[in-house]
Amino acid sequence: MISAMNIFRRNSQKWKKGLWLGIFLWASLAAHGQGYSPDWQSLDQRPIPQWFDSAKFGIFIHWGVYSVPAWAPTKTTHGSLKYAEWYQKRLTEAPPGEKNLFRAFHDSVYGARTHYADFVSRLTAEMFDPEQWADIFVRSGAKYVVLTAKHHDGFALWPSPQSWNWNSMDVGPHRDLAGALTGAVRSRGLHMGFYYSLYEWFNPLYQQDTRRYVDEHMIPQMKDLVTRYAPDMLWTDGEWDHPSSDWKSEKFLAWLFNESPVKASIVINDRWGSETRSKHGGFYTTEYHLVHGKQADNQIMHKWEECRGIGGSFGYNRNERLSDYNSPEALIALLIQTVSGGGNLLLDVGPTADGRIPVIMEERLTQMGQWLQRNGEAIYASSPWPHHAGEVPGRYFTRRNNTLYLLCTSWPQEKILVRGVKARGNIRVTLLSTGRAVPAQLHRGVLALDPPNIDPGDPSSSYAYVFKIEGLVL
C-alpha cells in the first residue's frame, strides 16, 4: 500500500484545498438554485457526501447466476482469471496459447450441452436470510453495503422490467433479493448501495446496437433501480468498451444529481466510460491495488476506495482453499493501510447459490468487527496524517480533530519515536483497546513512547495495536 501513502503524503494540502473549493462551489450552486450540467466539468464539482468518507469500511456482495458453478482457477498468473463471477465470459475465451480451464471444467462437470442460462434454476436462495446477513455486516463493523444488482451477465436481482425473464423475480429464487436485503440493511442503520454493470456480455441488443441498448435498456434500468430503492451509492462497472459519451453517463448523472430522489445523498464511483477511471466521477477505485490492471498512479489526489475479495475472487469460488483466504491480521492491516492513506475499504463476500455467506467469510468479518469494536475510534471519521507515512514499515497514522492515532500492524519491540511534533498541553498516550496509559516523553520535537508489556491472553492483544496520542499540535 505504499502507493496509497504517497498519494496523501504528496498531495494532502492540495486535496484539502480542492475539497473546500468543491464545497464552496456546491454551496454556491445550491444558493442560486442551479443544478449540474451534463458535462464532466460541472459534474466533477459535486462534493462526495460526507457519510462516505466517515464510513471507511463497506461490504461488497457478488451474488448471481455465477454463484451456481462457483468456479475459477486459483493457480494462475492472470489475476482476473481468478474471478468466478466471470464464468460465463470465460467459457468462450482463454488467454492466447493457453487451455480454456473454464470450458474444461464446465464440460467435465455439467456437460457441453449445458448452457450458462440453465444454471438459473439452481439459484434457489432457499437459505437466504437478509436479516442474518445484515446482522453479520453490523458485527463486522462495516457502515455500508454494496450488492451486485446486475453483473456483466445481465441477470438482475430485482424485478427489473428491462430484464424480463432474466431477473430474480421471474426465474430462479422468484424473490426480490435486492429489495429484501435493502430493507434489512437499512433497518440496522447501515447505508445501502448497488453495483451495476453498464454492459452485458451477450445481450443481443448491446451486441447489435449499442445506442439503442443504452437508450432503451441501460438508462431506464438504472433509473428504475434508483427510484425503486433510493440507494445511497451507485457503483458502476463494465464501462471500458466505450467512452462515457456513448454510455450517456454525463446526461444520466445530471439527472441523478438534479432530479432523482437521492440527488443530495447518493455517492458514485469513477467507472462511467473508458476514459473516466481516476479522472471523473465521484470517488476513484482501485481493485486489488490496480486500476485497469495497472498499478495505481501514485500522483492521484482524490478520495478513493479499494475493493477486493477476502480470497482471490469476488464471486464465491468453490475451488479456493484456506490458503487462498486472507488472515484476519492481513485484512485488518489492509484496512489500516487503506484508511491511513485516505481511502475506504470495500471488502467482498461471495454468497452461495442457496443464499449462505460461507462460514470462513463470516468468521473473517466477525474478527474484523471485534477489532473495530475496540479500535474503531482510530478508523471511523478519521483523516490521514501523512507526515510520517511509510517512514517505518507497519506503522500508520490517522487523526480526528486534535487527537493522533498511531496504528501498528505488529507489536513494537522497542521504543517508538514520532518526530517533528509539538505539544499544545499535557501529552497523554494510551493503548486504545484497553485505555492503559503508555509512558511518553517529548524532547526537542521527538515523542518517545515506551510500549507496555501486554498479556498474550488478552483479547486486545491481537491483529493490530493503536496508540492514542493527545496533547499535540496537529
Could you tell me which CATH number the domain at 383-473 has? 2.60.40.1180
134 CB contacts (<8 Å, ≥6 apart)? 181, 184, 185, 187, 188, 190
Q: Is the pLDDT of residue 414 over 70?
A: yes
- Domain positions in the chain: 2-66+116-357, 383-473
pLDDT tens digit sequence for 123-153: 999 999 999 999 999 999 999 999 999 999 9
Distance (Å) of CA 77 to CA 80, 95, 96, 453:
9, 11, 13, 43
- Characterize the bridge pairing of strands 403-408 and 416-419: unpaired
In this predicted structure, the answer to whether residue 464 has a pLDDT above a threshold of 60 is yes
DSSP assignment of 36-51 = --SSHHHHTTSPPPHH
Regarding the domain delimited by 2-66+116-357, which CATH topology (the fold level of the hierarchy) does it fall under? TIM Barrel (3.20.20)
> Of 233, 128, 144, whose CA–CA distance to 176 is shortest?
128
Q: Is residue 291 very low, low, confident or very high in pLDDT (cuts 50, 70, 90)?
A: confident
Task: Say what the pLDDT of residue 44 is.
Answer: 98
Q: What is the pLDDT of residues 155-208, one digit of tens each?
A: 999 999 999 999 999 999 999 999 999 999 999 999 999 999 999 999 999 999
Please tell me the predicted confidence (pLDDT) of residue 77. Answer: 72
Q: Which residue has the higher pLDDT, 2 or 254?
A: 254
Residue 440's DSSP bridge partners are 449
Pairing of strands 144-150, 57-61: parallel
297 pLDDT tier (thresholds 50, 70, 90): low
Cell 465521484 belongs to which residue? 282
> Could you tell me if 310 and 331 are in contact, meaning their C-beta atoms sit under 8 angstroms apart?
yes
Place of cell 437459505: 127
b/e map of 4-35 (b: 16 or more CB within 10 Å)?
Answer: bbbbbbbbbeebeeeeeeeeeeeeebeeeeee
Could you tell me how far CA 463 lies from the centroid of its own chain?
21
User: Which pLDDT does position 96 carry in this prediction?
Assistant: 85
Q: Which three cell numbers stand for residue 367?
A: 474478527
Half-sphere exposure of 142 (CA within 13 A, CB side): 30
User: Which residues have a Cβ under 8 Å from the Cβ of 25 and sit 6 or more positions away?
Assistant: 45
Return the pLDDT at 1.
42
- At 80, is the pLDDT very low, low, confident or very high (cuts 50, 70, 90)? confident
Grid cell digits, residue 458: 488478552
In this predicted structure, the answer to whether residue 20 has a pLDDT above a threshold of 60 is no
Position 161, amino acid: P
* Complete DSSP assignment for 191-236: EEEEEEES--TT-HHHHH-HHHIIIIIIHHHHHHHHHHH--SEEEE
Report the SS3 class of residue 71: coil
DSSP H or E segment with residue 340: helix 328-340
Distance (Å, whole) CA 102 – CA 90: 6
Neighbouring CB atoms inside 10 A of 456's CB total 7
Mean pLDDT of the chain: 91
Question: DSSP code of 84?
Answer: G
Query: 394: phi > 0 → left, psi -120 to 50 → alpha, else beta; which?
Result: left
Q: Is the pLDDT of residue 85 over 80?
A: yes
Higher pLDDT, 66 or 292: 66
Q: Which of 319-323, 382-386, 456-460 has the highest mean pLDDT?
A: 319-323
